[in-house]
């Protein structure tokens, strides 16, 4: 470990996909960078995501349609949305803000904000992947969303029309055309939405490791440190950790859902919580799917990866301390069996992770008010992998005093 006397240009707190991507871009520019994590890079939320490069997710989750669908979800034990009774009181203020963010004017602003990030997210991600020499882990051939019930067709066609109006490339496929893409004539479907501007990565953990390694190769110091608090000093910041103090002229906080307590030590109270999600990985499994396949009704996505086939889903408001809900794995396994029965399920691994989410489902990206050397990049909700490249590019611009490629007003920390 480095001696406390070293002063870095910038300390990056948290080496998930967002922190590792940012550290890489910052180190490439020549600044001295410390990339700090209490664990191995990529072991938290970024480990188990679906690998989807979701450039299609331009509509924020808080919306009138989400509010209308919620009661139905909460009544069913197998529904993709769950609020455990033990966490209901704690999450209530977050949910109240979510409801407020669902009003049409906020939804429209949120859509424009997400569009501004997502519009360049694929290019920025692929540039980063190219620089880290991992293009072979990335695919840009879209995904398919299956529609299983005739009653869903109207809603999906509206989604297609709304998405198209915002420039998202997506078309409706009749079952025969969809079966071509999934490589067989099951399950029973009434059609599918074919998104052609999306992509996926074949190893989300491999991506973070590669970004962190590339950051180190570009000169960053990767250190195991658990940051407890951060103090302002006359020269910059002192990061207090169990392993000793670290000094830096600038700080970037990218600690996922745990950013909440770290920014609190600097006087910022953000309503950051988690939407927990689950995956099952059929290790060594193979599927006939040529591209990732999701289900409109079941809210899951199945992604072919290097290690096997991964099925991912669920939104659970249970904080970071409650135990996982093992029923989720059974639901995912039944769903995998239904949608992709050919996948060998003899070696299955299970995982639950913490999406870092703010109630308006927009991330915090930018500087602290009046404090250009204190930077934030957290709260990337369902899109941290997708947005890692564009976030890293924005952070690089901020750190190097260049104009940012997009307006950061919707993402400022003081909006709450």
Distance CA 58, CA 313 (A): 19
Q: Exactly one of 26, 36, 192, 367 binds ligand FAD (CB under 6 A); which one?
A: 36
Q: Is 378 in the site for ligand FAD (CB under 6 A)?
A: yes
Nearer to ligand FAD, 153 or 333 (CB): 333
CA-based end-to-end distance of the chain: 37
Nearer to ligand FAD, 308 or 356 (CB): 356
Alpha helices per DSSP H over 171-250:
175-182, 204-217
The counts of H helices and E strands in the chain are 11, 20
Distance CA 340, CA 187 (A): 8
Nearer to ligand FAD, 179 or 243 (CB): 243
Beta strand ranges found along 198-347 (DSSP E):
199-201, 221-224, 227-232, 237-241, 244-253, 273-283, 293-295, 300-305, 308-316
Q: Is 258 in the site for ligand FAD (CB under 6 A)?
A: yes
Backbone φ, ψ for residue 309 (5° rounding)? -120, 130
Q: Is 396 in the site for ligand FAD (CB under 6 A)?
A: no
User: How many residues appear in the chain?
Assistant: 416
Nearer to ligand FAD, 49 or 175 (CB): 49
The span of 32-40, 74-82, 93-101, 319-327 binding ligand FAD (CB under 6 A) equals 32-40
# binding residues, ligand FAD (CB under 6 A): 42
Strand partners, 374: 251
Query: Least distance in Å: CB of 353 to ligand FAD?
Result: 4
Nearer to ligand FAD, 82 or 382 (CB): 382
Query: Least distance in Å: CB of 200 to ligand FAD?
Result: 7
Contacts of 353 (CB under 8 A, 6+ apart): 44, 45, 47, 48, 49, 276, 277, 278, 279
Query: Least distance in Å: CB of 35 to ligand FAD?
Result: 10
Q: Which of 48, 54, 53, 201 is nearest to 138 (CA)?
A: 201
Binding mask 327-366 for ligand FAD (x = CB under 6 A): --------------------------x-xx----------
Site residues (CB under 6 A) for ligand FAD, limited to 182-241: 226-227
Cβ pair 21, 388 in contact under 8 A: yes
Contacts of 134 (CB under 8 A, 6+ apart): 206, 207, 210
Cβ pair 33, 212 in contact under 8 A: no
Q: Is 245 in the site for ligand FAD (CB under 6 A)?
A: no
Q: Is 285 in the site for ligand FAD (CB under 6 A)?
A: no
Query: Least distance in Å: CB of 224 to ligand FAD?
Result: 9
Q: Exactly one of 10, 11, 12, 13 binds ligand FAD (CB under 6 A); which one?
A: 13
Query: Least distance in Å: CB of 118 to ligand FAD?
Result: 10
Distance CA 75, CA 183 (A): 35
Contact residues for ligand FAD, defined by CB under 6 A: 13-19, 36-39, 43-46, 49-52, 54, 226-227, 254-256, 258, 262, 277-279, 312, 353, 355-356, 378, 380-386
């Amino acid at each position: 470990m480095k001696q406390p006397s070293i002063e870095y240009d910038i300390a990056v707190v948290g080496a998930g996909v967002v922190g590792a991507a940012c550290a890489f871009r910052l180190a490439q520019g020549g600044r001295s960078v410390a990339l700090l994590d209490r664990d191995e890079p990529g072991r938290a939320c970024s480990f188990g995501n679906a690998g989807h490069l979701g450039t299609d997710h331009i509509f924020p989750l808080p919306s009138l349609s989400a509010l209308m669908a919620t009661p139905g979800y909460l009544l069913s034990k197998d529904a993709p949305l769950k609020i455990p009774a033990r966490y209901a009181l704690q999450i209530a203020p977050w949910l109240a803000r979510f409801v407020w963010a669902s009003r049409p004017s906020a939804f429209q602003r949120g859509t424009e904000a997400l569009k501004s990030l997502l519009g360049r997210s694929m290019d920025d991600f692929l540039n980063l992947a190219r620089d880290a020499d991992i293009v072979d882990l990335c695919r840009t051939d879209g995904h398919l969303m299956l529609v299983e019930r005739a009653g869903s067709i109207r809603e999906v066609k509206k989604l297609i029309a709304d998405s198209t109006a915002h420039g998202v490339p997506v078309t409706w496929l009749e079952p025969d055309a969809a079966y071509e893409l999934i490589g067989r004539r099951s399950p029973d479907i009434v059609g599918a939405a074919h998104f052609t501007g999306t992509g996926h990565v074949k190893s989300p953990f491999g991506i973070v490791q590669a970004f962190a390694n590339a950051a180190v190769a570009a000169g960053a110091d990767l250190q195991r440190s658990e940051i407890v608090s951060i103090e302002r000093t006359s020269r910059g910041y002192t990061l207090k950790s169990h392993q000793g103090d670290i000094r830096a002229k600038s700080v970037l906080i990218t600690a996922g859902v745990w950013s909440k307590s770290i920014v609190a030590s600097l006087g910022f109270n953000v309503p950051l919580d988690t939407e927990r999600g689950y995956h099952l990985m059929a290790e060594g499994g193979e599927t006939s799917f040529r591209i990732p396949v999701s289900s409109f009704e079941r809210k899951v996505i199945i992604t072919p990866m290097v290690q096997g086939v991964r099925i991912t889903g669920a939104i659970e408001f249970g904080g970071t301390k409650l135990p996982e809900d093992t029923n989720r794995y059974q639901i995912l396994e039944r769903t995998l069996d239904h949608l992709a029965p050919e996948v060998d399920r003899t070696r299955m691994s299970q995982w639950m992770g913490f999406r870092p989410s703010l109630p308006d489902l927009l991330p915090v990206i930018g500087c602290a008010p009046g404090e250009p050397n204190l930077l934030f990049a957290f709260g990337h909700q369902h899109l941290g992998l997708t947005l890692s490249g564009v976030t890293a590019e924005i952070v690089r611009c901020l750190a190097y005093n260049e104009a940012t490629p997009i307006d950061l007003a919707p993402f400022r920390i003081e909006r709450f």
